[in-house]
Structure formats: structure tokens, C-alpha cells
Amino acid sequence: PAGAAPLPPEAAPGTVPPARPAAPPRPAAVPRPAGSAPLPPTRVPHDAAAVPVETTTRLRPVRVPAYGTDETPVETTTRLRPIRERRRGRALAVGACLVLGTGLVGGALAGVWLAASGGGKPAEPAGYAVAKELWHNAPVDTLFPRTLTAPQAGPGPSARTWTRVVVAPDAPCAPASVASRLLAALRPLGCERVLRATYTDATASSVLTVGLVFTRADVSAQRALDGRRLATRLGQDVPPALAGPGTVAAGFGPAQRAGWWVTAPADLPVVVTAVSGFADGRAVDRAVPADQAMKKGRTDAVAQSGLGHEALGIAERLEKQLRTTALDAAKEEEQR
């Protein structure tokens, strides 16, 4: 067409363009020793043929472990121990144990210190000091109830019931109201006063005289009496009987004493005595201590009639009654 540039001779129509010269062959790769450093990248001129050349080291594919398989971690620090979750209840229990243990140890040390500072004297039981004054502070019906009951006092499971028939006024510590050997043992302790009363059983076939001998003994001296074996140490030192004119105990005298018992509680400044006999006034050759009269195999009248059980049972019942009275009086005194 008009105005078009003329074609070069080699591009004229109907002509074949000359072939491009072939690229020179690439030199064969020279093998490199293992472990050698990689060669620097080859610089290719801009007019050279575009041949892909690796410029970095090829990365190896990383295999991801399947689910549930173990993977060995590479640790760079010391493994930390797991810390259990703190529980409030456990902490409170530990604290309570610490407080309790500290209190027990402190109490023991305080007790040792008090015992050392007090010359080793034992602590005074509750109501001990108040009991010393009961002989004139407590009513007669409180010290000697009109009726006493002792379940299973014996023999066997049989119960005992006694009714008061006579009460003597308080008296000084003298042979008329206290047995001679017992009186000799109590005088160094300070024998204060003696109260006595006489009871009869439900069938009015036996009579019993009971006594409360109040002393000024401290706790150590009272315990030294050894109340459980006091009757054994007294031998045949039988407590005196208290007769009641016009009652079933009218003929109750020294010859009628059959069974007897003496005890000294460690928590009360008192000695409890009891002596039993037949209500019909029959005489007995020798009075028998309650522990001997209650032995199996005895066939004498004292054992068969249960007079040993009578003496022991009423002494224990009066001791319990006196302890209750002393504790009640101590509580009233604290509330004032």
C-alpha cells in the first residue's frame, strides 16, 4: 500500500527467512564432592536464552505426623512439673489440723508448767470446795432423800428401794458416830462433821444406817485414802448403827450389824459409810464386809438375805447423790 515502508530483502513475500544460528552446546556438569559449599549462581547475559537456574537450595518437604501419632519434642528448657489445682476444703482442713495440734501441744506444755509451778498438786475437781460446806448449806432432804432407788443393786438384776425412817442431827467426829480406826485416819486430814440417817427396805425386813463424814482434806490427801481399798484396811472397824425409836429400826444396835461398807470418793472431801442389819432385831455373830458377803457360794444368813448388797448399794447411791448436789451448788455459785 501507498506510504508503507519497504520490506527488507529477506522479508519480501515469497522468500524464506534465514535460519537462526544454533546456541552453543552447554558444557557437561562436573561432579562435585559431597559436603562442598554450593557454587555461586551463574550470571546469564540479558541476550542469552532464558534457561531456568536455581538460585537457592531446594527445601526438603516436612512430613506432618498423622493424628494420634507421637511426636518427639525438642526441649530447650527443663520440663516443668504440673501443679495441681488447690482445693479450698483441703486447705481449710490442713489449717484446722495445724490449729488443733498447736492447741494440744500448748495445752500440754501449759499443764506441765502449772504442775511444776504448783508443786505438783493435782487440779481440784469441780464442786470439791463447795462440797466441804454442804453439811450445813444443803437441806436434809437433799443429802438424805426420803426415798432412794438403786436399779440392779442386787442380788442379780433386782432393784432396791429404801425409805428414810430417822435422821440424826449433825455431830462432831467422835467414836459415837465414826468408827475408831476410820476416825484415827481422818483426824490428820481435818474431820469436820458427821451426818447420819437410817433407812429400811421396801419389805421393812432390813434396816441400814448411812453416814457422811465431811473433812477438810485437800485433793491429794483425799486420794491418798484410796477409797476402793479403805474398807479392807479398816479390818473389822464396823460403822456405828443409828436406832430410831418407834420405827422398824428401834432395835438396831451394835449386835444387829450384819453387813457394812466404807468408801472415800476421790472427787469429794467426804467418806461414805453404811451398815445393814435385820429389822426384827436378831443378833449377828460377826459383821461381814459387803465385798465378802456378795461372794458366790456363801450360805450364811448375811449373804442369803442380801445385806451385803444393801450396804454397798445404798453407799453408792448416796455418793452419787452427794456428787450431783455438789456440782449443782458449784454451778449456782458461778452464776452469782
pLDDT score, position 70:
47
* Integer Cα distance of 209 and 220 in angstroms: 29
**Residue 105 confidence (pLDDT):** 56
Alpha-carbon distances, residue 327 vs 131, 242, 260, 273, 285 (angstroms): 8, 29, 28, 21, 41
Sorted by where each begins, the domain ranges of the chain are 97-123, 128-335
pLDDT of residue 21: 57
Cα four-point dihedral sign 169, 172, 176, 182: positive
**What's this model's pTM, rounded to 2 decimal places?**
0.64
69: pLDDT strictly greater than 60:
no
List, in order, residues 6 or more apart from 108 with CB less than 8 Å away.
Answer: none
Confidence check: pLDDT of 166 > 80: yes
What is the pLDDT of the chain when averaged over all its residues?
Answer: 78
Q: Is the Cα torsion angle 109, 114, 116, 120 positive or negative in sign?
A: negative
Q: For residue 162, what pLDDT band results from cuts at 50, 70 and 90? A: very high
Query: 50: pLDDT confidence band, cut at 50, 70 and 90?
Result: low
Which phi and psi angles does 37 have, rounded to 5°? -70, 150
Distances 180 to 9, 43, 58, 232, 234 between C-alpha atoms, Å: 171, 139, 123, 15, 9
For residue 78, pLDDT over 90 is answered with no
Share of residues in the chain with pLDDT > 70 (%): 62
Give the range among 118-122, 157-161, 221-225, 316-320 with minimum mean pLDDT: 118-122
Angle at 272 between CA 124 and CA 234, to 5 degrees: 105
Work out the average pLDDT over 31-37.
57
pLDDT at residue 269, rounded to an integer? 96
Model confidence at 141, in pLDDT bands (50, 70, 90)? very high
Q: What is the pLDDT of residues 226-264, one digit of tens each?
A: 877 888 888 888 999 999 999 999 999 999 999 999 999
Cα dihedral: 219, 225, 228, 230 (round 10):
-160
Is pLDDT of 35 > 70?
A: no
Residue 268, all three cell numbers:
469429794
Residue with cell 442386787: 154
